[in-house]
Amino acid sequence: MKRALAASLLLLGCGSSPTLDDAGCGLPGVAPDQPVIECPAEVDLGCIGASGVPLSVAPTVATCDGSNPTVLCAPSSVTPGIGSGTCTASAASGASAECTFPIRYRVEGPPQIVCEDITVVCTGPLTSVDVPMAGVMPSCDGGEIEEQARKRMASAISSKEGA
């Protein structure tokens, strides 16, 4: 239980750049090799193709005892539709810390509308369905789908729901 509390302190304390104070070094239940990790504020990949691009991230890491934890970041490549990544620092003792980062990019070709897959289970002749708003991936070629197009799409969905 004390170890989980230390992990909570770790995640709350890493607001700007990791310090050993953030790891809770010296507190009861905190591993001597407790890591603290900071991901980049954002990763901007610029223009990517449909097949994606490799992703390499170098988070900042420190440990209470100065050892070198194992750091793994995912995803290792980014394809259209991926919007965030995660890095985890793991120490020999099993202590770990995690951070996330947003991934920004544009896609080669025309702008794309991205819709989430949904599954609907009918509960009767009329079933209410919550349809998430579609996302828009801007194009590298400069073509943008304007906010007005989003509003038209939302309006079309609303009118079909009312029918």
Asked whether the beta carbons of 88 and 44 are under 8 A apart, the reply is no
Give the separation between CA 35 and CA 7, rounded to whole angstroms.
10
Q: 3-state DSSP call for residue 112?
A: strand
Tokens 């009861």 -> residue: 28
Give the separation between CA 156 and CA 148, rounded to whole angstroms.
12
- Over range 19-41, report the average pLDDT: 83
If 0-12 CB within 10 Å is exposed, 13-18 middle and 19+ buried, where does residue 107 land? buried
- Over range 8-23, report the average pLDDT: 46
Best CA proximity match to 30, nearest among 54, 4, 56, 49: 4
Residue 7 has pLDDT above 80, yes or no: no
Predicted TM-score of the model (pTM): 0.61
Structural domain spans, the chain = 2-105, 112-162
Q: pLDDT exceeding 90 applies to what percent of the chain?
A: 34
- Over range 48-67, report the average pLDDT: 90
Task: Output the CA–CA distances (angstroms, integers) from residue 30 to 16, 99, 153, in the order listed.
Answer: 21, 19, 52
Residue 6 or residue 156, greater confidence: 156
Give the separation between CA 57 and CA 24, rounded to whole angstroms.
25
Give the separation between CA 50 and CA 35, rounded to whole angstroms.
36
Residue 57 has pLDDT above 90, yes or no: yes
Given pLDDT bands bounded at 50, 70 and 90, which one contains residue 22? Answer: low
Given pLDDT bands bounded at 50, 70 and 90, which one contains residue 11? Answer: very low
- Average pLDDT over the chain reads 77
Domain 2-105: top CATH class: mainly beta
Q: Which residues contact 93 (CB under 8 A, 6 or more apart)?
A: 31, 32, 33, 34
pLDDT tens sequence across 87-136: 999 999 999 999 999 998 888 877 777 777 788 888 888 888 888 777 77
